[in-house]
Chains A and B, each alone.
Chain A
């Protein structure tokens, strides 16, 4: 018998799906923290540290009281050890990353990942916190962006700053889309949120740049309990990107963010997320729990489009939703969710049709590998008054190997008979035949898998802002590749 290279499918999959998350590094830096645990006193301390006005403190205290009466939900198809909420530190001032003298000092693995993702040298320096030459510093670029935005009357700042500088806007809209009592995690977030972003686009203004561009040259401050509020006034338009393809290591295991979008009449919001939090080790130890509430409301003729590429976190619980309140409004949800090793994800969307002639589109692509479990959970609700409304949903799952799982839980409620709902679902496995075909054309197995996965996700990746689409594509490859770097 000749020694033809023979590798069983199992071995191959093992190899392909066994990439470890190699970017984690932790640092011991003094930070301004308060003792563990949650109490009214802690909520007051957080508010005081942030020098907040009385109404904000009230808001937080109400939320805290609501939270005390609530229970952690367990309807999601995930299992994890529930965090001890008295063992969490609820306030910690931004930590400092160590400053490096040059990129040569960067962890070579990290450097290779940056290169693979195609991140520019300038940006690599920023992400890695390299002390940069003043001429090269991106601060000046940021300043000119800030000026451009200010000229148009666009407000883009941290939510803490907005509470101080634009209290009328924050007061008017905060908690209107995701009420304090919406769920356990939103109540928790409302009580203790540390920071986040605020954005206001005035009437008729088209935001002149992807706010992602802005984001990327500024500190993309991600906190444990992040709060985002984005208001697009009548006829305005904005594209916003949060997160980063660059790997994110965080010591905080529990993340409970709230994002609220308000699209007033004829406004258009495009909100894209790339999430690459630490997923834990191969056995599922130590990864981030990502329990997020994201919701937007569309007034008349408005449109909200959510796009997400989710590759990280140990447990994900996330349903970016649209409330289509105004007539003729449009909601969209495009998602790629990758789970590998022991990751678990229960993610999807809710489209609530209230206005007449409202339309929604859902394209959800799940990829499960290793021993992971990926779930799509989606609700389409068409109210009695939402006549002539339409929904199209497509939920696809791609399985790699036979040890992972994938489930789809669609909920459809239609209360009138002039509306139309379509739901398509497929489950497929990456075929050996597909891989062999690529091999025969000179494409190695890992590249073949990357190619097939990218093709599968194309409809979603196409929705991302250009520069991120390329990075997200590479991120998918890395998430599923055996040999990182």
Chain B
């Protein structure tokens, strides 16, 4: 599904990613771990198409198309979803209005009419139930006055509504207490199918207890320096990043 080859990218002439290679197949969950400043968030921003970042070399192939040729919204229409580490507030725009717009734009790009209001509402209700979201949430303004946990849950709710092929969860566990973490992780697990894939970006192993990865990659100074199975995460937790980076 996703093939990243020798990706080099940076911001304001500072190279942050120094040759990333990664392949993600449908149905897989990959975890990307690494210390602060290793380039984890840069990688997610480059895949999603944030324009501050300059891609210097390499390619990112998504379902046979070079993602780097597409605008961020076109990438979203093709099925790339980024759960933001710091979701932004959009004052005055309700969650339901935002999601309605978002879904309608995606469907338009795919040549479909917007979902009829009834079906949309039904879908929202189902997904809210999936994520234990309380009534009244839909009419709140996007992320305005949301707690850290509510913001992250709102990200996963949008993911559930948009049904992306590739989801990148950027530090989704940060700012979550253990209960919120469990709810969010359960939601993500329920959304897993054999046709979609997930990249989980995290500092800590604790999220991976709930969202169990098929592969774990360690990112350090812009390169993947080690890959392995889920045990790698446990090992890292025990021995710290120094264990790998010092070698």
Contact = CB atoms under 8 A, between A and B. Distances in A.
Interface of A: 1-7, 431-434, 436-445, 447, 451-452, 454-459
Contact of A6 (B51, B58, B73, B81): B51
B162 A441 contact: yes
8 contacts: A2-B58, A438-B102, A440-B81, A441-B158, A443-B105, A444-B105, A452-B90, A452-B93
A454 B101 CA distance: 13
A431 B81 CA distance: 20
A442 B162 contact: yes
Nearest to B105: A442
A440 B82 contact: yes
Interface string B98-112: 100111011001000
Contact of B91 (A4, A438, A439, A456): A456
Contacts of A456: 91-92
B90 A442 contact: no
Interface residues of B, number: 42
Contact of A443 (B49, B81, B102): B102
B141 to A, nearest CB: 7
Contact of B57 (A1, A444, A452): A1
A1 B56 contact: yes
Nearest to A452: B90
- By secondary structure, the B interface counts as mixed
A437 B81 CA distance: 11
A4 B90 contact: no
Given A2-B66, A436-B50, A442 B93 contact: no
B114 interface: no
8 cross-chain pairs, A with B, having the tightest CB-CB distances, nearest first: A455-B92, A439-B72, A455-B93, A458-B92, A442-B76, A441-B102, A2-B68, A442-B106
A439 B105 CA distance: 10
Contacts of B51: 5-7, 432, 436
Interface in B70-100: 70-73, 75-77, 81-82, 84, 87-93, 98
B69 interface: yes
Given A440-B82, A442-B102, 6 more contacts: A2-B55, A4-B68, A436-B72, A439-B73, A451-B98, A456-B92
B88 A433 contact: yes
A439 B102 CA distance: 9
Contacts of B52: 432
Interface of B: 48-52, 54-59, 66, 68-73, 75-77, 81-82, 84, 87-93, 98, 101-103, 105-106, 109, 141-142, 158, 162
Contacts of A441: 76, 98, 102, 105, 158, 162
Identify which of A440, A447, A451, A457 gathers the most chain B CB atoms within 10 Å of its CB.
A440
A3 B56 CA distance: 9
Given A441-B76, A442-B162, A447-B105, A4 B55 contact: yes
A439 B68 contact: no
A194 B243 CA distance: 86
A447 B92 contact: no
Given A441-B98, A442-B162, A459 B92 contact: yes
A422 B133 CA distance: 36
Given A7-B51, A443-B73, A457 B101 contact: no
B105 A3 contact: no
Contacts of A442: 73, 76-77, 102-103, 105-106, 109, 162
B48 A451 contact: no
A451 B48 CA distance: 21
A253 B87 CA distance: 47
Contacts of B141: 455
A6 B54 CA distance: 8
B71 A451 contact: no
A437 B68 CA distance: 18
A103 to B, nearest CB: 25
A448 B164 CA distance: 20
Nearest to B66: A2
B107 to A, nearest CB: 9
Contact of A455 (B48, B69, B90, B103): B90
Contact of A431 (B49, B73, B88): B88
